[in-house]
Amino acid sequence: MSKLTGKAAFVTGGSRGIGAAIAKKLAADGASVAITYVTGKSSAEAVVSAIESNGGKAIAIMADSADPIQVDKAVSEAAVLLGPIDILVNNAGVFPTGLIGDTNDADFDRAFAINVRSGFVASRAALKTMPDGGRIIFIGSSLALRVQGPGLTVYSATKAAVAVMSQALARELGPRGITVNTVHPGSTNTDMNPADGPWAASQIGAMSNPAGFASAGEVADVVGYLSSFEARSVTGAAWTIDNGATA
């Protein structure tokens, strides 16, 4: 029996990149998985198909993480279809860039709505059914720990907020045995930031371990561990996967 057999997981933004890798990892470990997507229906369906072809169970739900009503509804729908949510991974996010003088209020509000509020709303919704001993994992960013250059003010602020919210929620939910942790990916090879992209060399140059970009699977493996019974004593923690770029 796999270590997550009988568990239900909900992954926001699970149609591609790190989110898709997390969904596949949790499914491979035995969980039934719900993922959300906004416009990438075909990509979400491909993730579901890949999980099902390996004997797992998965569903895709369209939900805009910028809309709290849609997020709440998606979590509720997943709980009806899969059962109480045991594992919540708040992964959905946007990567706004630009100097402060070029950033308008709408861009600021959207970044905080998706990167911060959606995790708050999803957590609140999941906790309506989450049993004691559940798991909540936020996907942050190494840029919450150290800003490597200009133009990252809004993004870094959102991910710093996520990390502190995770710590506070760990205190709140500790009596129920629910662990809450943050995973901070650094440079990770995805379509949003490919390892052969125009900014890759400068990112690798900041690493103390010149292993290069992490794979999405490496991030997913850490999430898989934090989702397991073996990580029952790990809460309020931040796990950084960036080859020492913030060391």
Mean pLDDT of the chain: 96
**Of all residues in the chain, what percent carry a pLDDT higher than 70?**
100
Mean pLDDT of 178-199: 91
Q: Is the pLDDT of residue 7 over 80?
A: yes
Phi-psi map region of 6: left, alpha, beta (phi>0 left; psi -120 to 50 alpha) = left
Higher pLDDT, 171 or 203: 171
Q: Is the pLDDT of residue 87 over 90?
A: yes
- What is residue 41's predicted lDDT score, i.e. its pLDDT? 96
Mean pLDDT of 213-223: 95
Which residues have a Cβ under 8 Å from the Cβ of 189 and sit 6 or more positions away? Answer: 195, 213, 214, 215, 216
Cross-strand pairs, 215: 189
Exposed / middle / buried, residue 72 (Cβ in 10 Å: 0-12, 13-18, 19+): middle
**The tokens of 131 are what?**
């049993």
Mean pLDDT of 90-100: 96
Task: Please list the alpha-helical segments (H only) found in 93-181.
Answer: 105-112, 118-126, 153-173
Which of 80, 82, 71 is CA-nearest to residue 26?
82
Cross-strand pairs, 40: none
pTM as predicted: 0.96
Active site amino acids: 155
**Is there a contact between 142 and 240 (Cβ–Cβ < 8 Å)?**
yes
**Of all residues in the chain, what percent carry a pLDDT higher than 90?**
86
- At 1, the pLDDT band (50, 70, 90 cuts) reads low
Strand ranges in the chain using DSSP code E only, listed in sequence order: 8-11, 32-37, 58-62, 87-90, 135-139, 179-185, 188-189, 214-215, 238-241
Phi, psi torsion values for 195, nearest 5 degrees: -65, -15
Q: Answer positive or negative: Cα dihedral of 49, 50, 55, 60.
A: negative
Q: Is the pLDDT of residue 210 over 90?
A: no
Range in 108-112, 131-135, 210-214, 233-237 the model is least confident about:
210-214
- What is residue 231's predicted lDDT score, i.e. its pLDDT? 98
**Is there a contact between 210 and 243 (Cβ–Cβ < 8 Å)?**
yes
DSSP secondary structure letter of residue 7: -
Mean pLDDT of 163-173: 98
Mean pLDDT of 123-137: 98
Which of 17, 111, 225 is CA-nearest to residue 239?
225
DSSP secondary structure letter of residue 206: T
**The tokens of 40 are what?**
């990438």
Query: CATH 3.40.50.720: does it fit domain 8-241?
Result: yes
Q: Answer positive or negative: Cα dihedral of 75, 20, 140, 96.
A: negative
